[in-house]
Structure 1
Amino acid sequence: MGKSCFHCGIEFENESFVVDQKDFCCIGCKTVYEILSEHELHSYYDIEKNPGISPLQFVGKFDYLDNKDISDQLLEFDENGIQIVNLFIPNIHCSSCIWVLEQANKLNLHIKDAQVTFPKKTVRLVYNSSSLSLKELVVLLASIGYPPKINLENKNTEKQVTDRSLLYKIGVAGFSFGNVMLLSFPEYFEVSEFWLDQYKPVFRWLMFAFSLPVVFYAASDYFISAYKSLKKGILNIDLPIALGVFVLFTRSTYEIIAHTGQGFFDSLTGLLFFLLVGRYFQQKTYAFLSFERSYKSYFPIGVTVIKDGMEENIQVKDVKKGDRILIRNEEIIPVDSILMKGNAEIDYSFVTGESNPIHKALGDKIYAGGKQKDQPIEIQAIRSVSQSYLTQLWSKDSMKNQEKSQDFALTNKISKYFTLVILIVAFSTLGFWLWWDPGYAAYVFSAVLIIACPCALALAEPFTLGNLLRIYGKRGFYLKNGQVINRMAEISSIIFDKTGTITANDQSKIHYHGMELNTHEQALLKSTLRGSNHPLSRQLYNMLRSQNILTMDDFKETAGKGIEATFEKDTIKVGSASFLNHKAATKVENTSVHISTNNNYKGKFVLQNMYREGVFELFKNLSKHYEIAILSGDNAQEEENLTKRSPSGTKMFFNQKPEDKYNYIKDHQKEGSKMLMIGDGLNDAGALKESHVGIAVSENVNVFSPACDAILDASKLKDLDKYLRLSKMGVHIIHLSFVISFLYNVIGLSFAVTGNLSPVVAAILMPLSSISIVAFTTLSTYYVSRKLT
């Protein structure tokens, strides 16, 4: 008799490889088992029997990945010994699959990170390409049961392949349900002339036979999910369903064996059929309402493209292959491109976590997601922009602290205790009916378990927040994730930066005071300002007349202070008076930008601040519910004007360095305040990250930072109070959805525990309740958003 491989299940006759008294068909299966065991991942084999795939099946199958031209089509990133690939894996089907794949760094130490996107069935892997090739990585995934499906001709659409297993299970359950109902008719109508003793057992055993594929195939996902959750000490929402199906099947089987009745095979098959149909419609509803496909198109980030020697700001989503793009200091590279001009020092920490800048020469390839850390460069796009990729980088939870990255914690907590309560109620009901009417106990027990499923409860929060994300996005307010909405509803204080946040860059009036700049000095100034994204730099750059743009030999920008650059033998400094060591640093003056060349002070540009439309009306509305403060890096010249126009009680602090803003927020939050910080996303990164909610105001600037929780189109700042009110209404809708779900369960349970509700009816009502909650949250969020905004 042949042996069976413990890893892949293949039967073989030849001599086996034995480890831990387990047989393996080949050295490959043995090695995979040893790797899993060595890293304490042997519980992988508890997922299902023989879950792996023999590496022998993949010998030569992925050799084409050794071809660099082919692998380059798959790689998202390939720089400095680090490669990133996003692979479509059809076999991803449950939480255990996610767990195994995200432990890939334990299977091979050269894998740095693995992130699974469950709805798309993809895994994004970051690995050391000098020690692990793409082919070896793919073979490793295949050997543990997750072979990627690679289609080079259309790899993007490959990710959208629909899993039809649910439809197959619905078909099996529906076929069995129809036949069981047909076989049950004689007993329903008590047709004694036909329903003779010699036919009754045959019909009942046929019903038993039709129920087997329903229980062991169609219901398998419920049993597997319940088993895995129990192993991990968790009570998930599939446990009551699995328990109800098991009890109905066991009781029905006992009845036909003991000849005491026909059992509940009709209810059992009908129950599974309607449960699976409900799950299918829930999936379709979710896909229809999925915010991911729509709100990203409103990503309010701009880039500067160069056309016919002229600079033009466009939205990042409009960048096309062949466009020439200007990238300033601290700007994100929006698309894979070729360096055409300038000195590129690219920081890829946004992508790989490695913070050391990489120098690039003219003609080198630069990957999307890198950040320029020097003078301005010009790049040429080699493909169109993928906003989903930029969003994926921005939304990395690793960039946030743990408190900010907890998703749907309230729902998960309530669902866990809800399931426990339901199990207590169900077993109490079972005990009563075993005493009152044992023949009916299993029937009532199953009805209680099914009707009280907390699916509707679990859907309320993600659907409400998801729909609000889409609504916000359409209105120029882009949020990192749904939990930002929950935190917005908790805000008690709001902090505003001044320059570039509440002031309008394109409306300020600028006057120059000082010695006249010659043509060469004007070119130096224009070229230096070109590399900065600071709001004052951008204003001056746009105001100065066109000059021959110079490629600076050296460029250094100090956050909140100024810029120093050199060209050949000339040095220029642009910034605050203190940065230039000028005597004006001791005076309170209007917002000014000082200039010196070759350590000779030249003069200053004085800016008359123009505030954004509606900003003081916004302050008035916000002051009714929040404490308001302005933290500005500028001097106090504007304090009197701001005090007159702002609500009484508005706190104002000037000459604030980035670290001062950070410390202000940190100290107040230690005292219990929930603070919202609104800044430009550049100099305020520390304050944005430390705050309970950090919002970066965007005005055609590609400097969005992982530090912020949201990006607000500058033209929409006046609507901030409405967005905050909408977040509170969203939380109220979630709470109301919880109440509706609880009422539904209480009413349903009152019928079920008294034996007045069949499991089949319960199975129909359960998905209807979920769909009704989804409809309620969707319509409610649309209604309040229209009313408020």
Structure 2
Amino acid sequence: MEQTTCFHCGDDCNAAIILYDEKNFCCNGCKTVYEIFSENDLTCYYDLQASPGAIPKEIQGKYDFLSQDNIIEKLTEFNDGNTQIATLYIPHIHCSSCIWILENLNKLNPNISSSQVNFGKKNIRVTYNPEKTSLKDVVLLLSTIGYEPYISLDDFKTGQQNVNRSLIYKLGIAGFAFGNVMFLSFPEYFQVGEFWLEQYKHLFRWLMFVFSLPVVFYSGADYFISAYKGLRSKLLNIDVPIALGIAVLFLRSTAEIIFDLGSGFFDSLTGLVFFLLLGKFFQQKTYSFLSFERDYKSYFPIAVTIISSEGIETPIQVYDIKKGDRLLIRNEELIPVDGILINGKARIDYSFVTGESETVSKISGDKLFAGGKQTSGVIEMEAIKSVEQSYLTQLWSNDVFSKNKDDGFTTLTNKISKKFTIAVLSIAVIATTFWLFVDASKAMNVFTAVLIIACPCAIALSAPFTFGNLLRIFGKLKFYVKNASVIEQLASINTIIFDKTGTITSNKKSTATYDGLALNPSEEILLKNTLRGSNHPLSRTLYDILDEHNIISLNHFEEHLGKGIEATHNDNHIKIGSASFVGAGETSILNTQVHISTNNEYKGKYTFYNSYRKGLSKLFNKLKKQYDLVILSGDNEGEFENLKKLLPSKTKLIFNQKPDDKLDYIKYHQTEGAKILMIGDGLNDAGALAQSNVGIALSENVNVFSPACDAILDASKFNQLDKFISASKSAIKIIKWSFVLSFVYNIIGLYFAVTGQLAPVIAAILMPLSSISIVIFTTIATNLLGRKLE
């Protein structure tokens, strides 16, 4: 009797076939989901994958608890009244159709503004308007279409603790079957006479067949699924030769015992799958270790100012914040933890979290959420929790802010794997054809051994393990890189652009002298408090130099990027910045200057004597041998002569550059073929950092954070920049050497396989060992690289 499968979920309909729109469904749930998608023009879901959905479960009343405010607060990571964000764990995510429909939830519910899927972690980050829909509505919608979230009430987590142990189960079954098949094969190995031939030969062979069934159809199923999906998409992935090898071994072995031609290769078959899964388990464990290192040790070297009970302001690392600490958040600073606003006028930009650029006003007593950016002067807040260790990493890596930068080397790896797979299949067919004419008994052994021994897994593993380990090493050395592709880009740069103030200069050692009219006490207080709200390096330097004054709340504060700052308190108005900004006449410029005017009356100027970072000249002299060097500064030409003496002769010095000018400069030179590394302070340079091939934000003692940057470098490690770039280049060499090792191994293995000297079980043992050897080689090589860096 012909079985009918459900159009939505792919299960057998059995007797209960529901016909709708000329399509068969197994239940009303699947039919309902299809109707929902049809009504909302989302039937493209089925074009991406045949039968991609799951049967929706009965959910009536199941999620009533999600109406309780205390539970909603625990499950949402962001909630300001107008926007809520929740990350939900969806165990059923398994294919491209799942991703497509889950990222189009806004078409099913217009009050959902965005939904992003993390396929690797099987979770979805949903942003919605809580005034028009609710977390319960979102969860019910997901459940209705067959993607029910996993929510644990014990710890209010959304499924992170629900570990997928399927690989362990598959490995266990394959290992159990492999061991038993080996025991049952002993009479064959030792060629036992009458006992084997007369009584138990057929029983043992059929037992081996039975043991192989769960190995092929359960433990090895992922290889067949992956190969099928690849071929359907007209792609030759690395699982194609593996699936072919498993299929050939099973079919040939089954044919041998049915027609009593021999005992087959069930030992080789079960051993192959077991060792393949063992290699995958080892790979998964190593990835988990690298991920753990990344999440919990790669803290950003960003500081925030903490105010003591005596009113003393001290910068501390963000991960030292404790519940109850009083924090000072300046203009353009990131709020690192959830807290309560105590003092000041808050206008918070939550675009880093929500993707919406509209700022929201908050008053004293309101709750502020981590990830918001203060945009209107200085505020004080009390922390109500400590920094979640992986939260900033999650915020930084948010795909909303990622820029499509070339990923050439990863593509090269994929190309090599594809060509390698084609070559392996060709060699297997040619060698098998040859042996069919020479010695047909060896032909199938040769075909299987070639497919197994020459799998390009080792090639595919070398890049992620090398880059992954280097990410961990860089993090320990206070160089925090967003992802592996950044290391690759860093290795290919040919031009390095530096901002000046706060990047090649140190804020801590600079001095300044004042020339002009004396400020009265109220003007001095206003000056101090205006500077207190700004994160610009010159503002920070001047704030630290001036004597302490009373802290006041400003009526108005505004920062004009690349120009200056202005503020108002009662009837007094102050402007601090460039000569043109404050309304002063241009004067001959010898040094960096900050001008001041109060109530539209020019008062005077502070002249800065910059202190350059330790090892600056030595660093530039090392870099000049391989790179074009540029200083791109928003300041005037006051430091031109000093920099000319300090830096190599070929260094370009360009001044008076506004933020847009810097971006345009980078964009133009990229069209000329330049691969640009931009290093800035993350404040005025956000656009330039985003436009460059690699953008590095330098962090000293301020909490300025830019998702546009690709890496964050602790200011204390600035003079080691050349070593980090050199290490990135060495990482590429390590990958290329691992390619060579893999190639050599495959050539040797293929020789023995093609000549019929390699049994498939031996090939199955050698294959995962080759993958493990590549991982060990890359790990040792990158660790040695790390020691050189230290």
TM-score by length of 1: 0.94
Q: Quick one: structure 1 residues 455 and 98, their matched pair in 2 at CA, closer, same or farther if it must change by over 3 Å?
A: farther
Name the residue aligned to 1:625.
Answer: 626
The alpha carbon displacement at 1:98 in A equals 5.2
The alpha carbon displacement at 1:286 in A equals 2.6
Name the residue aligned to 2:765.
Answer: 764
Matches within 5 A, 1:675-714: 675-714=676-715
Question: Which AA in structure 1 matches 2:307?
Answer: I
Name the residue aligned to 2:168.
Answer: 167
The alpha carbon displacement at 1:116 in A equals 3.8
- Which runs of no fewer than 5 residues in structure 2 stay unpaired? none
- Output one character per residue of 1:762-784: Cα deviation in whole Å (capped at 9) or x when no partner: 22112211111111111111212
Name the residue aligned to 1:305.
Answer: 306
Name the residue aligned to 2:207.
Answer: 206
Name the residue aligned to 2:580.
Answer: 578
Measured in 1, the distance between the counterparts of 2:112 and 2:135 equals: 11
2:45 equivalent to 1:41: yes
Q: Quick one: structure 1 residues 415 and 130, their matched pair in 2 at CA, closer, same or farther if it must change by over 3 Å?
A: farther
> Residues 81 and 131 of structure 2 are in contact (CA less than 8 Å); yes or no, is this contact kept in structure 1?
no
Q: Quick one: structure 1 residues 711 and 448, their matched pair in 2 at CA, closer, same or farther if it must change by over 3 Å?
A: same
Q: Quick one: structure 1 residues 494 and 564, their matched pair in 2 at CA, closer, same or farther if it must change by over 3 Å?
A: same
Name the residue aligned to 1:556.
Answer: 558
Matches within 5 A, 1:162-561: 162-196=163-197, 199-290=200-291, 292-293=293-294, 296-308=297-309, 309-404=311-406, 408-561=410-563
Q: Quick one: structure 1 residues 224 and 110, their matched pair in 2 at CA, closer, same or farther if it must change by over 3 Å?
A: farther
The alpha carbon displacement at 1:381 in A equals 1.6
The alpha carbon displacement at 1:197 in A equals 5.0
The alpha carbon displacement at 1:524 in A equals 0.6
Measured in 2, the distance between the counterparts of 1:768 and 1:98 equals: 34
What SS does structure 2 have at the residue aligned with 1:578? helix
Q: Which moved more, 1:173-182 or 1:500-509?
A: 173-182
Measured in 1, the distance between the counterparts of 2:409 and 2:161 equals: 25
Measured in 2, the distance between the counterparts of 1:13 and 1:788 equals: 68
What SS does structure 1 have at the residue aligned with 2:505? coil
Q: Which moved more, 1:591-600 or 1:637-646?
A: 637-646
The alpha carbon displacement at 1:354 in A equals 1.0
What SS does structure 1 have at the residue aligned with 2:580? coil
Measured in 2, the distance between the counterparts of 1:189 and 1:404 equals: 58
Q: Which moved more, 1:274-283 or 1:119-128?
A: 119-128
Name the residue aligned to 2:135.
Answer: 134
Measured in 2, the distance between the counterparts of 1:272 and 1:441 equals: 21
> Residues 353 and 372 of structure 2 are in contact (CA less than 8 Å); yes or no, is this contact kept in structure 1?
yes
2:33 equivalent to 1:53: no
Q: Quick one: structure 1 residues 229 and 146, their matched pair in 2 at CA, closer, same or farther if it must change by over 3 Å?
A: same
Q: Quick one: structure 1 residues 238 and 145, their matched pair in 2 at CA, closer, same or farther if it must change by over 3 Å?
A: farther
Question: Which AA in structure 1 matches 2:524?
Answer: Q
Q: What is the alpha-carbon root mean square deviation over aligned residues?
A: 2.5
Measured in 2, the distance between the counterparts of 1:746 and 1:47 equals: 41
Matches within 5 A, 1:579-594: 579-583=581-585, 585-594=586-595
The alpha carbon displacement at 1:528 in A equals 0.8
Question: Which AA in structure 2 matches 1:427?
Answer: V
Q: Quick one: structure 1 residues 727 and 574, their matched pair in 2 at CA, closer, same or farther if it must change by over 3 Å?
A: same
Q: Quick one: structure 1 residues 373 and 251, their matched pair in 2 at CA, closer, same or farther if it must change by over 3 Å?
A: same
- Output one character per residue of 1:534-581: Cα deviation in whole Å (capped at 9) or x when no partner: 000011111222222221111111101101111122111111111012
Q: Which moved more, 1:606-615 or 1:79-88?
A: 79-88
Matches within 5 A, 1:658-669: 658-669=659-670
Q: Quick one: structure 1 residues 70 and 732, their matched pair in 2 at CA, closer, same or farther if it must change by over 3 Å?
A: same
> Residues 3 and 12 of structure 1 are in contact (CA less than 8 Å); yes or no, is this contact kept in structure 2?
yes
Q: Quick one: structure 1 residues 384 and 165, their matched pair in 2 at CA, closer, same or farther if it must change by over 3 Å?
A: same
The alpha carbon displacement at 1:409 in A equals 2.4
The alpha carbon displacement at 1:101 in A equals 4.3
The alpha carbon displacement at 1:80 in A equals 5.3
The alpha carbon displacement at 1:406 in A equals 7.1
Name the residue aligned to 1:21.
Answer: 23
Question: Which AA in structure 2 matches 1:575?
Answer: G
Measured in 2, the distance between the counterparts of 1:322 and 1:407 equals: 47
The alpha carbon displacement at 1:143 in A equals 4.2
Name the residue aligned to 1:726.
Answer: 727
Measured in 2, the distance between the counterparts of 1:287 and 1:236 equals: 23
Measured in 2, the distance between the counterparts of 1:422 and 1:113 equals: 44
The alpha carbon displacement at 1:471 in A equals 1.3
Question: Which AA in structure 2 matches 1:207?
Answer: M
Measured in 2, the distance between the counterparts of 1:3 and 1:489 equals: 55
Measured in 1, the distance between the counterparts of 2:412 and 2:669 equals: 26
Name the residue aligned to 1:784.
Answer: 785
> Residues 463 and 735 of structure 2 are in contact (CA less than 8 Å); yes or no, is this contact kept in structure 1?
yes
Question: Which AA in structure 2 matches 1:204?
Answer: R
> Residues 271 and 761 of structure 2 are in contact (CA less than 8 Å); yes or no, is this contact kept in structure 1?
yes
The alpha carbon displacement at 1:720 in A equals 0.9
> Residues 36 and 42 of structure 1 are in contact (CA less than 8 Å); yes or no, is this contact kept in structure 2?
no
Measured in 2, the distance between the counterparts of 1:259 and 1:180 equals: 18
Measured in 2, the distance between the counterparts of 1:582 and 1:345 equals: 31
Name the residue aligned to 2:610.
Answer: 609
Q: Quick one: structure 1 residues 6 and 641, their matched pair in 2 at CA, closer, same or farther if it must change by over 3 Å?
A: closer
- Output one character per residue of 1:253-299: Cα deviation in whole Å (capped at 9) or x when no partner: 11222222222112111211222222212222332344644674441
> Residues 630 and 653 of structure 1 are in contact (CA less than 8 Å); yes or no, is this contact kept in structure 2?
yes
The alpha carbon displacement at 1:520 in A equals 0.8
Question: Which AA in structure 2 matches 1:631?
Answer: L
Q: Quick one: structure 1 residues 100 and 174, their matched pair in 2 at CA, closer, same or farther if it must change by over 3 Å?
A: farther
Measured in 1, the distance between the counterparts of 2:151 and 2:365 equals: 30
Question: Which AA in structure 2 matches 1:154?
Answer: D
> Residues 618 and 718 of structure 1 are in contact (CA less than 8 Å); yes or no, is this contact kept in structure 2?
yes
The alpha carbon displacement at 1:432 in A equals 2.4
Measured in 2, the distance between the counterparts of 1:64 and 1:44 equals: 35
What SS does structure 2 have at the residue aligned with 1:46? coil
- Which runs of no fewer than 5 residues in structure 1 stay unpaired? none
Q: Quick one: structure 1 residues 727 and 580, their matched pair in 2 at CA, closer, same or farther if it must change by over 3 Å?
A: same
Question: Which AA in structure 2 matches 1:377?
Answer: I
2:741 equivalent to 1:737: no
The alpha carbon displacement at 1:507 in A equals 0.5
Q: Quick one: structure 1 residues 449 and 140, their matched pair in 2 at CA, closer, same or farther if it must change by over 3 Å?
A: farther
Q: Quick one: structure 1 residues 488 and 293, their matched pair in 2 at CA, closer, same or farther if it must change by over 3 Å?
A: closer
The alpha carbon displacement at 1:303 in A equals 0.6
Q: Quick one: structure 1 residues 83 and 340, their matched pair in 2 at CA, closer, same or farther if it must change by over 3 Å?
A: same
Q: Quick one: structure 1 residues 188 and 102, their matched pair in 2 at CA, closer, same or farther if it must change by over 3 Å?
A: farther
> Residues 329 and 533 of structure 1 are in contact (CA less than 8 Å); yes or no, is this contact kept in structure 2?
yes
The alpha carbon displacement at 1:13 in A equals 8.4
Measured in 1, the distance between the counterparts of 2:111 and 2:36 equals: 13
Q: Quick one: structure 1 residues 426 and 621, their matched pair in 2 at CA, closer, same or farther if it must change by over 3 Å?
A: same
Q: Quick one: structure 1 residues 406 and 557, their matched pair in 2 at CA, closer, same or farther if it must change by over 3 Å?
A: farther
Name the residue aligned to 2:671.
Answer: 670
Q: Which moved more, 1:11-20 or 1:738-747?
A: 11-20
Measured in 2, the distance between the counterparts of 1:654 and 1:186 equals: 85
The alpha carbon displacement at 1:184 in A equals 2.3
Aligned pairs, how many?
Answer: 784
> Residues 303 and 325 of structure 1 are in contact (CA less than 8 Å); yes or no, is this contact kept in structure 2?
yes
Measured in 1, the distance between the counterparts of 2:665 and 2:761 equals: 60
Q: Which moved more, 1:392-401 or 1:727-736?
A: 392-401
The alpha carbon displacement at 1:243 in A equals 0.9
Measured in 1, the distance between the counterparts of 2:263 and 2:521 equals: 100
What SS does structure 1 have at the residue aligned with 2:557? strand
